[in-house]
Chains A and B, each alone.
Chain A
Amino acid sequence: MASKLQTPLTVAAYKSDVHNDWCPGCGDFGILQAIQQSFAELALPPWESMVFAGIGCSGKVFNYMASHGVHTLHGRVLPFAVGAKLANPNLEVIAVGGDGDGYGIGAGHFVHAGRRNVDMAYIVMTNEVYGLTKGQASPTLGRGQQTKSLPLPNTNDAIQPLALALSAGYTWIGRSYAFDGKHLKEMIKKAIQHKGMALLDVLQPCPTFNDLHTTEWFNKKVKGEGENVMVPRIFNVNDQGYDGAVKDPTNADEVNEKKSKAFEMANYVGERNPVGVFYEINLPTYVERMQAQVPMLKQYAPALMPYQDASHLPTTDLSKVYDEYLF
């Protein structure tokens, strides 16, 4: 975790002077702004913060932030970000990418990041299409759906990322919506502050290529329970008494119960879109696990470990290692 600035910076201090070239009305704007606001409210020093991004429209987030910004490779944002966080846990590291990037080409890394429980937040911008290559189906688009660039309806079933994250071992799982700025910002802050691997899936419209799930579609009221009751499509599960946080991680019954409920919520079937914190548990992070095995890591992060003296002579003493091989 990065240190906290004594004098917080304004949101503007987290904005780079790079011209933003997303399409007008893109959900990415809402997400970028919420990240910048979260960083400001958490008083993160930009020089101790690294924003890793995948490839695609979402990947450009890296360049609009005034922290360290790292534009990685398609699908590989997690390994890059995990590498940096493990090498220097004093840094605030977040990963950002699209649903094609993270749940498609990067699906393998997505699963294994859960197993490691590295202390970082992963924000996925889910818009059901590959925007930057002009609108092909992403892994979250449902079977039979046909967005405007598709020559034929989608033949694949959609994956359910929150359920997948649950199976993979993510210790904080949540969802928000790109244009609910207040909720999104709070969720990003929670994901960052959670000690462990957090997945925040953010629903967002792609105004250019997703003509099925547009801003209007998200804003439209849908039929609720009872006669002629219309309710907002997006609803916050935490407002309705749902609490996915495990209080005692050693209590297997509680863990199972919370996981089952979160799984059910993640696979919610209906016209509405649940958002909020689906699951949360406190488990040892990867750094803590490494520290238990390699005691020197408690004292130094790998990036800060001494290995040379003032005249640049190596200080690593191999004599004990040699003993085994000397004859």
Chain B
Amino acid sequence: MKVVNNFSWMIGGPQGTGIESSANLFAQACASAGLWVFGKREYHSNIKGKHSYFQVRVFDKPINSHVDDVHLLATFEDSTARLHAHEVVKGGALIYDPTKIMLDDLNLKSGVITLPIDFNTVLRHVAEVTGEDYGKLAIMKNVIAVAASMALLRMDISEMEETLNRLFTGKKARLIPTNMAAVKKAYEAVEALPQEIHNQFLYHLTPNKKMAKRLLINGASATAMGKLKAGCRYQTYYPISPATDESNFLESHPESGIAVVQCEDEIAAIDMALGAATTGVRASTATSGPGFALMQEGMGWGGMNEVPIVVFNYQRGGPSTGLPTRHEQGDLMFSAFGGHGEYPKLVMAPADIDDHFHVAFESFNYADKFQTPVMILNDKLLTHSLQTIPPFQESGLVIDRGRLATPEELEAAITEGKGFPRFRPDAKTVMSPRPYPGQEGSPYWMTGDEHDDYGHITENPEIRIKMHEKRLSKYKLMLEQIPQDKQFTLKGEKDADVTLVCWGSTSGLLLDAVEPLKEKGIKVNILNYRLLHPLPIATEKILKSAKKLILVESNWGTQLGHLIRMTTGVFIPNQVVKYTGRPMSLNEIVDAVEKLMKKEVKPEVDPLTGMTIEKVVLTYGL
């Protein structure tokens, strides 16, 4: 039985051998053929040699997740075949180099088609027809693997050619003939296979040329675009995986006018962004856990001085250096409660790659509106995952700079001659008027010490109460003024048997799980928290009226669960977690939900709460 446009491809190899480029090539070819893709990248904290792999799932509808099954595994050296051959399903295929590995050494399932390609022979042929130096062609093995995959999937060679023409422009255009020679040879090799092998391979891709144009993009780039749209023109960063891609993107677009400053450390990064923000520019920084830890003192200063600033934390496996290039949602509690003392902070997480753009855009409005640091929790999965999505919906985007000083207020400050009352609460808006340096009448003082209306240091208890309460009352305003559909979403089946509760990248995965769970007779809906701190109290009703709740998070401690319990009193004993540094797959989550619904999970006592829980710990993936 043929399976059309429902396919999972994997390519792997030592780092530095072009795995990412070949996955891009494959994903771009599928995307330009009008198919929907989701590509997941796994790699070590290493530059050359360690095993990396990229999985690209292709579907005829939009998707947000990967599956563990591999329908076609493309390898050109021995390690990937050894590590992943067992994941190829019956009716799927393995492309391998018979000069590098014996099939007997692999743990292949029966019914897997094996396609030997002698990569060096192909390369020698390429060298012959193009006159290129054979010794320099080794990097093209991955292109051969992609082309062989495409041929087996019955994608026309023109799809490859089109994609290569697009990929290699300018100086790189000279690489096209050599690449096409390799592609042609790979197609010939696959087409020469006995018809019987072609018949056995069940997976086909069929282009949908009527498909409207879509973006093929990852979360880091989507975030950067949202920042530019919001008018962010000052970005600081210190190199750290997986956050650096965002700053790289911004720096690669000097035409936008954004100033990107690489700092000496993350302390400088946050403080420089804060200094910039005091002049009125929309300023931001991007980092990951270790850098985020260093930024805490600066963020507290921003809270004390009511400076609008947005910090993007690209979460990775922690604690400490942890798993620098792997996925985790482990910084939620830290973001909500980090820093000494009390100040209002707003924590949000994008639900999918499209939402990276929108959260990035909105975050600057919230920072300005509530005059306080905003923290965005991205995570490694979507930072580096490639996904086809419709172009960002830009209509309806409006810039809100919050409460700024009016000409009358500046005039009054000049007359009064005591400086600008920057921190004097406004009876109506709570938020105080903010002047920009350069405006006559603007001078005021900023200090991390407690201060009065003008910013003068004070330890007066009455002023302390007034200022502390003013700042912390912003929590109430956030919940009142951020539209509810921006705070959380409830999607999925009506009259659901179970509500899956999540935040961040797991949201898209759970949406993908609605259909497969329905096929198993389980009707689910998904409560996704976009605003995480302050946690929307309004979700209490949804939680309390759900027939059953299952919490899904990529961490050990169910951090969202604790925030929910703290805020609403609802404890969710059914939990699915994963903390291997690898994201949950669609089949893993479907199985886990099914198990919990069938009461197949052994109850245990949660050490942190003393409550009885039923917890599924997912572990799949290399």
Contact across chains for A86 and B437 when beta carbons are under 8 A apart: no
Residue of A whose beta carbon sits closest to that of B441: A47
The CA of A70 and the CA of B301, in the complex, are separated in Å by 11
The CA of A90 and the CA of B437, in the complex, are separated in Å by 10
In the assembled complex, which residues on chain B have CB atoms less than 8 Å from the CB atom of A55? 448
Contact across chains for B436 and A303 when beta carbons are under 8 A apart: yes
Q: Does A296 contact B (CB under 8 A)?
A: yes
Contact across chains for B399 and A87 when beta carbons are under 8 A apart: no
Q: Does B438 contact A (CB under 8 A)?
A: yes
Contact across chains for B271 and A325 when beta carbons are under 8 A apart: no
One of A47, A66, A320, A322 near B215 (C-beta < 8 A): A322
The CA of A307 and the CA of B364, in the complex, are separated in Å by 13
One of A297, A316, A325 near B231 (C-beta < 8 A): A316
Q: Does B254 contact A (CB under 8 A)?
A: yes
The CA of A69 and the CA of B448, in the complex, are separated in Å by 12
Q: Does B603 contact A (CB under 8 A)?
A: no
Contact across chains for B456 and A18 when beta carbons are under 8 A apart: yes
Contact across chains for B258 and A68 when beta carbons are under 8 A apart: no
A17, A87, A295, A320 pick with most chain B CB within 10 angstroms: A87
The CA of A47 and the CA of B435, in the complex, are separated in Å by 10
One of B233, B265, B361, B443 near A67 (C-beta < 8 A): B443
Contact across chains for B400 and A312 when beta carbons are under 8 A apart: yes
Q: Does A72 contact B (CB under 8 A)?
A: yes
One of A79, A91, A108, A307 near B279 (C-beta < 8 A): A91
How close is B344's CB to chain A, nearest CB, in angstroms?
Answer: 19
Q: Does B509 contact A (CB under 8 A)?
A: no
Within 8 A of B (CB), among A281-302: 290, 293-297, 300-302
Contact across chains for A327 and B437 when beta carbons are under 8 A apart: no
Q: Does B59 contact A (CB under 8 A)?
A: no
The CA of A293 and the CA of B399, in the complex, are separated in Å by 27
The CA of A85 and the CA of B271, in the complex, are separated in Å by 13
Within 8 A of B (CB), among A40-78: 45-48, 50, 52, 55, 60, 62-63, 66-73, 76, 78
Contact across chains for B438 and A112 when beta carbons are under 8 A apart: no
Count class of interface residues, chain B: 35 or more
Contact across chains for A79 and B214 when beta carbons are under 8 A apart: no
The CA of A318 and the CA of B230, in the complex, are separated in Å by 11
The CA of A176 and the CA of B99, in the complex, are separated in Å by 75
Q: Does A80 contact B (CB under 8 A)?
A: yes
In the assembled complex, which residues on chain A have CB atoms less than 8 Å from the CB atom of B144? none
Q: Does A83 contact B (CB under 8 A)?
A: yes
In the assembled complex, which residues on chain B have CB atoms less than 8 Å from the CB atom of A307? 230-231, 233, 282, 399
Contact across chains for B436 and A71 when beta carbons are under 8 A apart: no
Contact across chains for A79 and B275 when beta carbons are under 8 A apart: yes
Within 8 A of A (CB), among B437-473: 437-449, 455-457
Contact across chains for B261 and A47 when beta carbons are under 8 A apart: no
One of A72, A312, A320 near B301 (C-beta < 8 A): A72
Contact across chains for A91 and B438 when beta carbons are under 8 A apart: yes
Q: Does B46 contact A (CB under 8 A)?
A: no
A-B contact pairs, 9 of them (CB 8 A): A47-B438, A62-B445, A72-B271, A73-B297, A86-B261, A87-B283, A296-B254, A302-B276, A307-B231
